[in-house]
Amino acid sequence: MDDEDFRQALAEVKRFVRSEVLPREAEIDEKDEIPEALRKQAAEMGLFGFAIPEEFGGLGLTMQQEEALVVELSYAAPAFRSMLGTNNGLAGQILVMAGSDEQKQYWLPRIASGEVIASFGLTEPDAGSDPSSLKTTARIDGDEFVLDGTKRWITNAPAAHLVMIFARVMNGDTDEGISVFAVPTDTPGFEVGPKDHKMGQAGSLTSEIYLTGVRIPASTRVGGDQGYRIAMSSVARGRLSVASICVGMMRRLLDESTEFAIGRRQGGSRIADYQLVQAMLAESATELYAAESMLSRAAKAFDDGTMQRTEPSMVKYYASEAVGRVADRAVQIHGGMGYMRGVAVERLYRDARLFRIYEGTSQIQQLIIGRGVVRAAEKAN
């Protein structure tokens, strides 16, 4: 998409999010679901396929365009962006990166249109940030695979038509490594558990998946025996997306804080005129600027092919930690109102906590960054 077309599309997404999604945030939080009308509008705007190549019916955005779009989508309740996220991100990109021509032609146009909701099935009860320890197996049986195992906290699983399942391939007693399989959810033996009840992010549906003797043809295997590499590549891109979400939420939190401080009077003066309130606004504005700058640089490096291994971790780590601090200050600026249900910053405070956990915890990001610093120093010497 050229720059002018993208500017127009971005302006329309901004209008849609602020005029259509924001007024329904309380409903999303209360009912723990995205209204069908919003889902249909998003599909009509092509938002289920903004990161899918144009040849498969998507918008084919660059990473720089994608992060700008996700920032605008994330000004509203993060559950709305989450509804679109796995189609464009972790699940859809597996097929874009490693799918066969047949797999791409069959799945990607329907993923891009929103006809098919795709999920990313990596996390397990004992395997989260480290996929090398996953226990789900794919046993070779002639020209088929038989899947057994459990996946946990799988986003959009209750609504999914397709799940990209990561499993350890077993040929008899021989472990042949990790592969990923495109598994339709109506396959016999595939069961989706009840939706999880989470601290925040209501409307973003997650649940466990149980695989019991799920028999699938060999043609569902994506990328051969490169499952671990595919998982790491998908997660790296996903970390930039998480950083984009955090930036969008930080913008919203700062706007809510500033507007409240201007409108709220205490002791005859606006609290926006008190220096300690201004100090909190200054800290939040500075952290937002830093996160925006890091994200912009990383997205450009992604598009240029110069992105270093540690960059997605650094951007995700900083942005996800910063949004928590900005959310905390927003509640503090609102005072007692900030602790009340139905007030935007109270909900966003709960929503923000998850970003330090998923797509690799902050501690995992620190390990990746730290090891990268050491390796770079050793290489330089």
pLDDT tens-digit map of 56-103:
999 999 999 999 999 999 999 999 999 999 999 989 999 999 999 999
**Is the pLDDT at 257 greater than 80, yes or no?**
yes
> Which token pair is 176?
């042949």
Residue 127's beta-bridge partner residues? Answer: 124
Q: How far is CA 29 from the centre of its chain?
A: 18
Closest by CA position to 318, among listed 358, 256, 366: 366
The DSSP output letter for 27 is: H
Give the length of the chain: 381
Q: What is the pLDDT of residue 190?
A: 98
* Catalytic residue status for 4: no
- Widest distance between CA atoms in the chain: 80
- Rounded Cα gap, residues 188 and 88, in angstroms: 27
Out of 55, 287, 359, 378, pick the active-site residue.
359
Q: What is the pLDDT of residue 129?
A: 65
Region 360-369: mean pLDDT is 94
180, 94 contact by CB (below 8 A) = yes
Q: What is the pLDDT of residue 316?
A: 98
Region 183-199: mean pLDDT is 97
